[in-house]
Amino acid sequence: MIDYGTHHWPVKASDQSPTDAAAQAPAHLPPTLEWVGGEEGCLRIIDQTLLPLRLEMRDCRSVEQVWEAIRELRVRGAPAIGVAAAYGVCLGTRAFRGREPPFFVAKVQEVSEYLCTARPTAANLSWAVRRVQSVGPRHISAGPAAAWSAMLAEAHAIAREDVEVCRRIGEVGADLVPDEGGVLTHCNAGALATVAHGTALSILYAAQRRGRRFKVYADETRPLWQGSRLTAFELHAAGVDVTVVCDSAAASLMAAGRIQMVMVGADRIAANGDTANKIGTYGLAVLARHHGIPLYVAAPVSTFDLSLRSGADIPIEQRPEHELRTAFGREIVPPGVPCHNPAFDVTPAALITGIVCENGLVQPVTEQGVRDVAQAGRSSRPDGTGPACP
């Protein structure tokens, strides 16, 4: 078992700072993840497997700890695992700063490939890993120590960029939120899924700051309950009107006229706009289209993968059976009955009303529109191509 350094953080409603909504939501929580200390520091994360009943910080001091934290969903959400993996490359190569340059470069490659195996679907993971990995060889002429320092600086840059990108996503999409309407969310695409602000929830926080009044219905998002455990947790802490509903209640809520928008995040967006998101999103898109309700996807440009022509090419992560087989520590599936547990499904672009990213709104969702906003953010990619693993 991996031994993490653990830090407890008291959860108190009185800690909330209602005037600090623009900084990070919810304001009274510690950062979802951050580098603590200088070059000999570590990655500190909120262990999201313990929320909402326990809020604990865990220190990752090795690449193995980062890999395990990503795989076991201690840190989750496409942007957040990208930042975590960026720091993981640095942690996994720090001990080799004193070795000869070829050895160091080979180790960077090895660690990068290892991190990419943690979760295959989220584009941000491999995108961020490749950004950091590409820095090492470019600075190796100054020696491995200097190259490693440049890699850490790149990881810091990715973390800083995520904060600004998510803020911009919120500003771009805020006016889409229906005043006095109902918004349905799925999974968690909030501050807990990013360095700050969130993607889909950043739009809701920005709309709240602009004075819009709305009610959020948060799908539980089975089987791991990211909606009820995480989205409801942070929205309630930020003073947003939120009610938890079971996933299968979405259709009846739509039919009753209580939902005016569906707002979700994304883990990978193909060139034609097909979008992979938490399992169950495709079903919501079909329901929304039947009821004439717009469904918007919010994601940074780093989630776009222009190397994939359509959603049929997106790799879908298969999660362990035990996540379905057990609930709250109890077996709920008869012994011997197999479980099928895909983490994501793909929503066709034709069912998506618009995609909100930091560079603007893609509406209608077309391949040209996706490429236009992706090209506007091309400078953030090392070589302008898709985010395949190194």
> Which of these, 219, 212, 140, lies nearest to 176 by C-alpha position?
212
DSSP H or E stretch at residue 87: helix 78-93
According to DSSP, residue 163 is labeled H
> Does residue 55 contact residue 29 with C-beta atoms inside 8 Å?
yes
Q: Which among 164, 179, 169 is positioned nearest to 201, based on CA atoms?
A: 169
Going by the DSSP 8-state scheme, the letter that residue 311 receives in this structure is: G
214 close to 252: Cβ distance less than 8 angstroms: no
Helices vs strands, H then E, count in the chain:
12, 17
Antiparallel, parallel or unpaired: β 181-185 and 214-219: parallel
The Cα 251–Cα 272 span in angstroms is 27
Q: Which DSSP letter does residue 308 get?
A: -
Any long-range contacts for 324-333 (C-beta under 8 Å, 24+ apart)?
Answer: 324/223, 327/223
CA distance 342 to 320: 9
User: What is the token pair recorded at 76?
Assistant: 């989750």
Per annotation, catalytic residue among 47, 162, 219, 267 = 267
Residue 198 and residue 25 in contact, taking contact as beta carbons nearer than 8 Å:
yes
Around Cβ 256, how many Cβ atoms within 10 Å?
10
Other CB atoms within 10 Å distance of the CB of residue 212: 16
Euclidean distance between CA atoms 239 and 228, whole angstroms: 16
Element (H, E) at 245: strand 242-245
Q: What is the 3-state secondary structure (H, E, C) of 251-297?
A: HHHHHCCCCCEEEECCCEEECCCCEEEECCHHHHHHHHHHCCCCEEE
267 among known catalytic residues: yes
Active-site residue list: 267
